[in-house]
């Protein structure tokens, strides 16, 4: 099996190298396609050193960004490059802050008998509880996390910490929407896969360890002033109005877009 592993990184050298090393324990042929978005901590040099030491059947390509790609932009660049190669059976989207369980790529190869199914590898925290994975919408934009322990593990979209997409799906569904700069790109991509009629399912075992991102220091931090929360909400790594409205309108319709695009501002005003 030929696998393309796609990730983007910025200034977390140790985690990036650890991520790639953790996924290298596989019998498959793997091409790591890494977009480095302007790191200045030695990440690129470390990646180049790793590239020449990888064992047979493992490749690594580094694509350099200018620091303005962020997550969704970086992943789009990796996906565009991978599509041009046109030689993979499986495309795996990962986050570089995951400590992957040994042999997880081989496990995916064994499970992926249905090429119309996308497999999501859920993450667990150090306490063993699910942190990221599949997402099932329950009412409007409200959703619940689907975990490996659930009886029904089908879902509507995902956090792309570890997502295995068969070639037929990857080639037929448009890559991450260019409207998103940082967040929402993976959620939107999963919803597009679901709309195209494909099945998305969480694997029955965890793929690795990844702690939840804390709300401290974000626009959700009630300890910050209202003005500071507003600034952080509209920042690239927050929930900028245009991108949030676009996501809601595209995936849930105008009514929900109008309603829920206002909700963050109300939360900030009332201190919630």
Domains recognised in the chain with CATH numbers: 2-209 (3.90.550.10), 226-270 (no CATH)
What is the structure's pLDDT at 117?
95
What is the structure's pLDDT at 66?
93
Beta strands in the chain (DSSP E): 2-9, 29-37, 58-65, 90-94, 99-100, 117-120, 123-124, 130-132, 134-139, 142-146, 157-158, 162-166, 199-202, 208-209
Please list, in sequence order, all residues whose beta carbon lies within 8 angstroms of the beta carbon of residue 51, skipping any fewer than 6 positions away.
59, 60, 62
* Lookup: tokens for 250: 């595209």
SS3 at position 234: coil
Short-list 49, 1, 58, 63, CA closest to 31? 58
Calculate mean pLDDT across residues 127-131.
94
Spatial contact of 204 and 148, defined as CB atoms under 8 Å apart:
yes
Residue 189 has pLDDT above 80, yes or no: yes
Calculate ∠ Cα 53-57-63, nearest 5°: 65
Given the structure tokens 């490749």, which residue do they identify?
59
* Lookup: tokens for 115: 């090429």
Distance CA 251, CA 195 (A): 10
Distance CA 18, CA 179 (A): 31
Short-list 269, 73, 165, 207, CA closest to 157? 165
* Lookup: tokens for 82: 């991978």
| pLDDT-derived band at 91, boundaries 50, 70, 90 | very high
What is the structure's pLDDT at 115?
81
Order the strands of the 157-158 sheet from edge to edge: 142-146, 134-139, 157-158
Q: How many DSSP H helices and E strands does the chain contain?
A: 9, 14
What is the structure's pLDDT at 46?
97
Short-list 225, 224, 244, CA closest to 234? 244
Calculate mean pLDDT across residues 17-35.
95
Distance CA 34, CA 5 (A): 8
SS3 at position 257: helix
| pLDDT-derived band at 110, boundaries 50, 70, 90 | confident
* Average pLDDT across the chain, whole number: 95
Calculate ∠ Cα 48-49-53, nearest 5°: 115
| pLDDT-derived band at 195, boundaries 50, 70, 90 | very high
Distance CA 60, CA 220 (A): 37
Calculate mean pLDDT across residues 68-73.
96
What is the structure's pLDDT at 1?
87
Q: pLDDT exceeding 90 applies to what percent of the chain? A: 92
| pLDDT-derived band at 111, boundaries 50, 70, 90 | confident
């Amino acid at each position: 099996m030929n696998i393309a592993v796609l990730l983007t990184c910025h200034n977390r050298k140790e985690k990036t190298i650890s991520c790639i090393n953790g996924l290298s324990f596989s019998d498959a042929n793997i091409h790591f396609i890494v977009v480095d978005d302007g790191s200045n901590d030695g990440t690129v040099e470390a990646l180049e050193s790793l590239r020449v030491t990888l064992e047979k059947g493992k490749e690594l390509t580094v694509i350099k960004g200018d620091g303005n790609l962020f997550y969704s932009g970086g992943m789009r660049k990796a996906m565009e490059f991978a599509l041009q190669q046109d030689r993979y059976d499986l495309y795996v989207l990962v986050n570089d802050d995951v400590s992957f369980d040994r042999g997880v790529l081989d496990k995916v190869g064994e499970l992926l008998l249905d090429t119309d199914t996308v497999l999501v590898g859920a993450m667990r925290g150090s306490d063993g509880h699910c942190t990221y994975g599949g997402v099932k919408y329950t009412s409007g934009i409200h959703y619940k996390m689907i975990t490996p322990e659930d009886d029904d593990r089908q879902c509507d979209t995902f956090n792309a910490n570890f997502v295995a997409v068969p070639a037929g799906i990857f080639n037929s569904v448009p890559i991450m929407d260019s409207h998103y700069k940082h967040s929402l790109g993976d959620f939107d991509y999963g919803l597009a896969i679901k709309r195209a009629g494909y099945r998305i399912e969480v694997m029955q075992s965890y793929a690795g360890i990844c702690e939840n991102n804390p709300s401290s220091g974000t626009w959700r931090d009630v300890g910050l002033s209202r003005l500071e929360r507003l600034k952080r909400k509209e920042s690239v790594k927050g929930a900028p109005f245009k991108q949030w409205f676009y996501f809601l309108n595209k995936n849930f319709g105008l009514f929900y877009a109008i309603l829920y695009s206002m909700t963050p501002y109300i939360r900030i005003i009332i201190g919630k």
